Amino acid sequence: MAPQLLTRGKVVIGLGANFPGAWGTPEATIAKALGEMGRANIGVAAVSPLYVTAAVGSARQPPYVNAVALLDTRLPPEALLRVLKAIERRSGRRAGRPWGPRTLDIDILDYGGQVRLWRRGRATFDEAGARPLTLPHPRVHERPFVLRPLLDIAPDWRHPALKRSARELWRQASKRGQGAVIKRL
């Protein structure tokens, strides 16, 4: 099978939650968030199974529930990001410390194969907090909790900046332990 490169309007997002919010459990919150995207005229083309994963950062937080979804949208990246952040807020998400507990976290992982703010195989702006939209996401290649569900919906996806397959990246990242996959729900 040929490597999967995303075309214009095709977007990969990551969703995660590890704290109950306005929409209930992390599992219910992810389901509701996907429904909200549909109501915002964002097509949800595919959704991975849910995975329970170890939290990154503070060890004093519950495991996350994570998924990856393939979207179909005409919104430009910044407009899509605004819609996704509004969905996070409606779920009960509040500002907090980086890598802390979340009622919902939605990240744009890849937007149509665009590369922004990458140079020589590295994201040039990747610290947590307010930051410009970096595409692909600056840490997608090192996160098992993103790569494992990505394999379920786009096994031949290639990192637009690193030119490496999801399978290769998964093999490397799964050995590191940060955000390790505990089980599939």
CATH number of the domain that residue 142 is part of: 3.30.70.560
1 belongs to a structural domain: no
**Is residue 83 within 8 Å of 75, Cβ to Cβ?**
yes
DSSP lists the bridge partners of residue 14 as 68, 107
Structural domain includes residue 2 = no
Q: The pTM is what?
A: 0.90
Active site residue: 39, 60, 89, 107, which one? Answer: 107
Query: Could you report the average pLDDT of every consecutive run of 10 residues in the chain (185 residues)?
Result: 52 95 96 95 95 83 95 94 95 72 92 90 67 90 95 94 94 81 88
On whether the CB atoms of residues 144 and 14 are closer than 8 A, the answer is: no
Find the catalytic residue in 8, 39, 89, 93. Answer: 93
Task: Please give the pLDDT value at position 8.
Answer: 53
Residue 173 within any structural domain of the chain: yes
SS3 assignment, position 100: coil
- Assess if residue 107 is contained within a domain: yes
Annotated catalytic residue, options 72, 90, 97, 102? 102
- Indicate whether 145 belongs to any domain: yes
Find residue 65's DSSP bridge partners: 17, 52
Q: In which domain, by residue range, is 21 found? A: 10-184
Specify the pLDDT at position 36.
97
Is 156 catalytic? The answer is no
CA distance 151 to 20: 27
Asked about 105 being catalytic, the answer comes back as yes
Residue 178 lies in a domain: yes
| pLDDT for the residue numbered 3 | 40
Q: With respect to residue 4, please indicate whether it lies within any of the assigned structural domains.
A: no
pLDDT of residue 5: 47
| Domain count across the chain | 1
What is the per-residue pLDDT for 175?
A: 78
For the chain, what's the residue count?
185
Cβ-Cβ contacts under 8 Å for 95 (sequence gap 6 or more): none
Q: Measured in Å, how far apart are the chain's first and last C-alpha atoms?
A: 28
Examine the residue annotation and report whether 93 is marked as an active-site residue of this protein: yes
Q: Which of 60, 74, 89, 105 is catalytic?
A: 105
Instruction: Give residue 120's pLDDT.
Output: 79
Q: Is residue 148 part of a domain?
A: yes
The token pair at 169 is: 């990246």
